Structure 1
Amino acid sequence: MKKWSSWAMFPDLKNYIATEQLLLPTDRLVLAVSGGCDSMVMLDLFRQMEHDFVVAHCNFKLRGAESDGDEVFMRDYCGEHGIELYVKTFETREFALQEGISIEMAARELRYQWFYELLDTLKYDYVLTAHHQDDLVETLLINLSRGTGIRGLSGIHPKKERLVRPLLFASREQITSYAAEHQLPYREDSSNQEFVHQRNLIRHKILPLFEAINPAFKANAAKTAAILKDTEQVYQAKIEEEKAAFISREGSQQLFDIAYLQQSPFAETLLFETLHPLGFNAGQVHEICQAFTADAGKVFYSETHRLVKDREAFILSPKTTDDLSRFYIEADCLEMAEPFALQCEKLVRDEHFQFSRNPAVADLDFDLLEFPLVLKKWEQGEYFQPLGMSGFKKLSDFFIDQKFSIPEKENCWILSSAGKVAWIMGHRIDNRFKITKDTRHVFRIRMTSKA
């Protein structure tokens, strides 16, 4: 077998970029360089390319003097070689604590946010990172251990929007061989040896066991990930076709047709691929499938979304905190922008007056109202006198009669006068404030945007 030479790395890089259609010669690049072996090899290779590029270095302040030493190293190296360098220092621990996330996640969020800001500021095209074949295999195993769909098993993609990973064709061994043969300087990160990090445990403990079984494990796993990347494209096309059949939209909400899902042999897969990107896990998706025939009202949550079982559909909506705000409408109010757009006017009740039959418009007896009117969300226990009735009805009973879904009930706004419901906005006015033959002035309120 022909032994791989580090001197082949440059032509292999050019071939990989062309095969994967990663870059055009005119693209201008931001190279993310930590000072470690992988990123210094990437920097050396791109010094041989025709692209315009700058270097971006992050100091996360996580390793004390070692982090500052990395920054000094990068400043010295780039200064010596005439490379334009941008450095950003982050208070990573403070950010992680503030956001309630891990240090690793905080560093990831901070660096990519800054990289993309650099692209926008400099008017450059792509950020390049030095992820390689071993990173791909490690990510595949991490995703497998957590439970993942086919997307996670395809590992790291070489290009995603404005992020490019041009070294995915090369192994860690090939990269370190290149650095040694070309006598490239680089910095060692002591944290790479700490087993408290999941990735390091896989790198130093798990992967060697697989390679003891088959020395070609990493190469084979990378090939499998490449095959799954192509398979994923076919798979996702079918998923999108199915989603179009069972998902409909109403404003910010998505409705999942339960009847369609019940007849599908792939319902759990369809729901997993739809809900997992929104933070729902595989166990929750299984419970959702078990709830197809459950009573309406069962609710499932992710960190960002809520899924409610209604009569004929699951209703997916972004999570919001309960809105306890109250908005006040004075007698001379002409319009409001919050919590949604409203127009108000005082009309004379004469022979030319005509009632509006638009449910988004309420015509109320001005002289029966006590200002300021209060605009608020409905509350349990409230009641009103529906138009045309002499008795009273709880709002909750009215919602049941009208077959309101749970999100519709929660998003319902009430206009009240002196603590009395005057209008269930968009649905029914209260009989106590209706226009009669004795009415002289009309207060007309028009909803010009949806509540």
Structure 2
Amino acid sequence: MPQHLLTNFTAHIAGQQLFDPSQRILLAVSGGVDSVVMAHLFKQAGFPAGIAHCNFQLRGEESVRDEQFVQQLAVALDLPLYTTRFDTNAYTQRHNVSIQVAARELRYQWLEEVRQQGGYSYIATAHHMQDSVETALMNFCKGTGIAGLHGILPKQERIVRPLLFADKEVLVAYAALHRISFVEDSSNITDKYTRNFFRHQIIPRMQEVFPAAVKNMDNSIQRMREAEMLYQESVARHRKRLLFSKDNTFMVPVVKLQKTVPLQTIAWELFKDFGCSVAQLQQVLQLLHSESGRYVETATHRIIRNRSWLLVTPVAQPDAPVQVLDAAPAHVVYENGQLHVRQQERGQASIPTAPQTAWLDAAKVSFPLILRKWKQGDYFYPLGMPKKKKISRFLIDQKLSLPEKEKVWVIESAKRIIWVVGMRIDDRVKITTGTENILAIELKTRD
């Protein structure tokens, strides 16, 4: 019921231990009913908060209208306001990603910057029960496995979702009850996007047969979150029992794996991180009954039957020389072209958007810099993303072919990868408003 929303809201925050009532929370507010109601609930509850709004400049005058509405909302609620505008279309072309991915990366990168600079403990987004159910259903259809069936999590690192308990209809009813105005996003109407198709077509048809489908699925999602914890604990025990390493080789005892139940599930968890696809898993299991010397080659590794063991070794790649840059300025020639390194003051110049140029916060980078080819196990924090990502997965997301992947180089500083050369810098060394000096690295490719 809408009249109980505030009570349920504070109870959910306490029950999920999302944040302490004294902590300052940055609210991501689009102007839609969900985020506007969230802002009002924070004000009603007396939680210290600020409002952040992103204008992605994708809907013309409507985007400007939303920005102006949120400005008025912040004044009405007497909350600090932070706004920004993005050239989202340019970002999609520069990074070869979809509009949705671009908007998400730009949004969370900027929100995290504001959170840090503004002294906020967490970022709050207005995802609600239906959003979580839609996510779980889409993941189920994509075949993401058990990890995708927990829906949207209430808390992930510095992001909290205090409305996950709430039904969308209750949020709308609360807005009507308290005469809270909001704006409508026209892009939510079209079924062009997958989420909207599930929202407008799939779930309503399910509710025709099962009227309580959304609530029932949400209950199942919450149980799935706990089931996943048990699953991961079990996988960790099996991995400790079955996976051994020596130098650059991993070893799995054949007899122990043969006796493992459930075999396919545990085998998948063991070998998926070695480039094994779902289609290749059966070939790997056949190695349990083959003669010594047989092998399966995945995208990144070779899994070899060697007597009573399965040996997992990286696919051999020709060695490339490592180059060391001791100081700036510097100039180095390598197989992909030339790198020019210089240091300069921040000034008023705009940050270049070309992927061949990396501008880094010089205070966050230390010499010597190491230029080398990427290798399995490498990871970094891609610009605009709050979590680390293996470079192998990053290159898959970039849709690079195997020959293209083999030509990718990285630059290290203090054992941290700071640039996947010509592609993406590390979020930890990006330029912020506090940057005073820039380390500029420019790639000039061979003609």
What TM-score do the two structures reach when normalised by structure 2?
0.65
Is 1:156 the counterpart of 2:148? The answer is no
Aligned to 2:172: 176
Query: What one-letter code is carried by the residue in structure 1 that aligns with 2:189?
Result: Q
Higher RCO (C-alpha under 8 Å, 6+ residues apart): 2
Query: What one-letter code is carried by the residue in structure 2 that aligns with 1:158?
Result: P
Is 1:315 the counterpart of 2:312? The answer is yes
Measure how far apart 1:17 and its partner are.
1.3
Measure how far apart 1:296 and its partner are.
5.2
Aligned to 2:210: 214
- Is contact 2:189-2:196 (8 Å) kept? yes
> How many pairs were matched up?
322
3-state SS, counterpart of residue 152 of structure 2: coil
Q: 2:96, 2:230 → 1: CA distance?
A: 37
Is 1:19 the counterpart of 2:15? The answer is yes
Query: What one-letter code is carried by the residue in structure 2 that aligns with 1:62?
Result: L
Q: 1:269, 1:275 → 2: CA distance?
A: 10
Identity %: 35
Q: 2:318, 2:90 → 1: CA distance?
A: 29
Measure how far apart 1:113 and its partner are.
1.9
Measure how far apart 1:282 and its partner are.
3.3
2:250 alignment partner, one of 241, 249, 255: 255
Q: 2:164, 2:122 → 1: CA distance?
A: 16
3-state SS, counterpart of residue 35 of structure 2: helix
Unaligned runs of 5+ in 2: 325-371, 374-405, 407-447
Aligned to 1:403: none
Aligned to 2:368: none
Q: 1:34, 1:125 → 2: CA distance?
A: 20
Q: 1:283, 1:298 → 2: CA distance?
A: 12
Q: 1:277, 1:40 → 2: CA distance?
A: 41
2:31 alignment partner, one of 32, 35, 38: 35
- Is contact 1:247-1:254 (8 Å) kept? no
Q: 1:128, 1:49 → 2: CA distance?
A: 15
The 5-angstrom pairing of residues 370-381 of structure 1 reads none
Aligned to 1:93: 89
Measure how far apart 1:288 and its partner are.
3.8
Q: Deviations over 1:343-394 (max 9, x none)?
A: xxxxxxxxxxxxxxxxxxxxxxxxxxxxxxxxx99xxxxxxxxxxxxxxxxx
Measure how far apart 1:233 and its partner are.
1.2
Measure how far apart 1:285 and its partner are.
3.9
Is 1:234 the counterpart of 2:224? The answer is no
Q: Deviations over 1:256-298 (max 9, x none)?
A: 5152433323343124345667886533444443455484553
3-state SS, counterpart of residue 31 of structure 1: strand
What TM-score do the two structures reach when normalised by structure 1?
0.65
Q: 2:136, 2:239 → 1: CA distance?
A: 26
3-state SS, counterpart of residue 53 of structure 2: strand
Aligned to 2:298: 300
3-state SS, counterpart of residue 298 of structure 1: strand
The 5-angstrom pairing of residues 251-290 of structure 1 reads 255-259=250-254, 260-273=256-269, 282-290=278-286
Q: Greater CA radius of gyration, 1 or 2?
A: 1
Q: 2:72, 2:128 → 1: CA distance?
A: 26
1:147 alignment partner, one of 143, 160, 178: 143
Q: 2:185, 2:102 → 1: CA distance?
A: 18
The 5-angstrom pairing of residues 342-357 of structure 1 reads none
Aligned to 1:344: none
3-state SS, counterpart of residue 56 of structure 1: strand
Q: 1:279, 1:164 → 2: CA distance?
A: 32
Q: 1:9, 1:223 → 2: CA distance?
A: 19
Query: What one-letter code is carried by the residue in structure 1 that aligns with 2:41?
Result: L
1:52 alignment partner, one of 48, 51, 54: 48
RMSD over aligned Cα atoms: 2.9
Measure how far apart 1:81 and its partner are.
3.1
Q: 1:211, 1:19 → 2: CA distance?
A: 29
2:102 alignment partner, one of 103, 106, 109: 106
Measure how far apart 1:217 and its partner are.
0.6
